[in-house]
């Protein structure tokens, strides 16, 4: 098997928990695709330039498989510091709810959302979905909105909207930010160690796991990891604090971010997807 095929299969396995998280919190394939384009263009420009200069659009296009026009669009977006505000407006359900509350065809004289009939040439749910849900199956969208308590069906067959905004989760944004940092840090260490052209020393990375553990041991193992892991991290934190530079005394001091992560592995469903 070619190395590239191993990489693709490993990436497919890696993406399973990522996509599960994205879907749970309303990130669509189009939104993830746009983020992927940004990442491809950013890395190709910064890591494959000559003499420290960013890679030109033609070479980025060749490396990434994107068209030069698309590379130029994403590059300008990155240079302008924009984060796809127009393109990452949320999923179709959010757009449907926004249209229902703001589009005059679906609101009354007081600006309140109307109860809509299921079908009709105007002011109906079918028209609303056609306008704001794109080509997604309208039946599936309506069912999803009902299951999530966003709309309800009235006795006369009309649909009433119950919520203005659609959020999949009430997660603290800081928790989500830390998730991204944790995944980035672990992946960066693995990528560093796999790059034979890196002159610096290998970064420590090791895993202890066993595929034949009885499920009855899960709780005990979790307690073990929590107690020993916390003690280990406290020692690490103390060491890092002792080597910390007080930047208020020297604003020009050179610093790096150092640390280590500890996480519990629990896998009872996806092992078959991993390259053996």
pTM (whole model) above 0.85? no
Q: What is the mean pLDDT of residues 230-249?
A: 83
Residue-range definition of the domain harbouring residue 153: 92-161
What CATH number did the domain enclosing 102 receive?
1.10.10
Helix (DSSP H) and strand (DSSP E) numbers for the chain: 9, 2
Longest dimension (CA), the chain: 72
Residue at which a domain ends, from 145, 161, 177 = 161
Highest average pLDDT, of 73-87, 125-139, 261-275, comes from: 125-139
Q: Indicate whether 169 belongs to any domain.
A: no
| Number of structural domains the chain divides into | 3
Task: Look at residue 147 and tell me whether its pLDDT is greater than 90.
Answer: no
Dist. CA 33–CA 59, nearest whole Å: 21
Computed over every residue of the chain, the mean pLDDT equals 84
pLDDT tens digits along 92-129: 787 888 889 989 999 999 989 999 999 999 999 999 99
Q: Indicate whether 183 belongs to any domain.
A: no
pLDDT bin (cut points 50, 70, 90) of residue 243 is confident
Dist. CA 176–CA 21, nearest whole Å: 10
Q: Which two tokens stand for residue 122?
A: 């105007």
Q: Indicate whether 8 belongs to any domain.
A: no
Q: Indicate whether 167 belongs to any domain.
A: no
Dist. CA 236–CA 256, nearest whole Å: 16
HSE, CB side, 13 Å, CA atoms: give it for residue 226: 6
């Amino acid at each position: 098997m070619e190395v590239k095929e191993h990489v693709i299969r490993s990436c497919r396995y890696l993406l399973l928990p990522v996509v599960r998280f994205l879907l749970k919190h309303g990130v669509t394939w189009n939104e993830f695709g746009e983020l992927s384009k940004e990442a491809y263009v950013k890395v190709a420009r910064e890591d494959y330039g000559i003499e420290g200069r960013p890679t030109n659009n033609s070479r980025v296009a060749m490396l990434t498989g994107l068209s030069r026009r698309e590379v130029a669009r994403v590059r300008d977006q990155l240079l302008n510091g924009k984060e796809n505000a127009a393109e990452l407006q949320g999923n179709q359900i959010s757009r449907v709810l926004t249209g229902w509350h703001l589009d005059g065809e679906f609101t009354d004289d007081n600006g309140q959302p109307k109860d809509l009939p299921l079908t009709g040439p105007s002011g109906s749910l079918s028209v609303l979905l056609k306008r704001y849900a794109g080509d997604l199956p309208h039946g599936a969208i309506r069912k999803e909105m009902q299951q999530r308590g966003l709309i309800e069906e009235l006795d006369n067959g009309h649909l009433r909207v119950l919520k203005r905004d659609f959020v999949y989760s009430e997660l603290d944004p800081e928790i989500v930010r830390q998730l991204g940092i944790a995944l980035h840090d672990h992946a960066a260490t693995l990528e560093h160690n796999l790059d034979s052209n890196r002159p610096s020393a290998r970064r420590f990375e090791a895993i202890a796991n066993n595929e034949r553990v009885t499920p009855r041991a899960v709780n005990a193992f979790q307690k073990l990891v929590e107690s020993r892991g916390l003690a280990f991290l406290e020692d690490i934190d103390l060491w890092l604090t002792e080597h910390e530079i007080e930047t208020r005394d020297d604003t020009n001091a050179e610093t790096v971010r150092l640390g280590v992560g500890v996480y519990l592995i629990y896998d009872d469903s996806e092992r078959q997807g991993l390259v053996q």
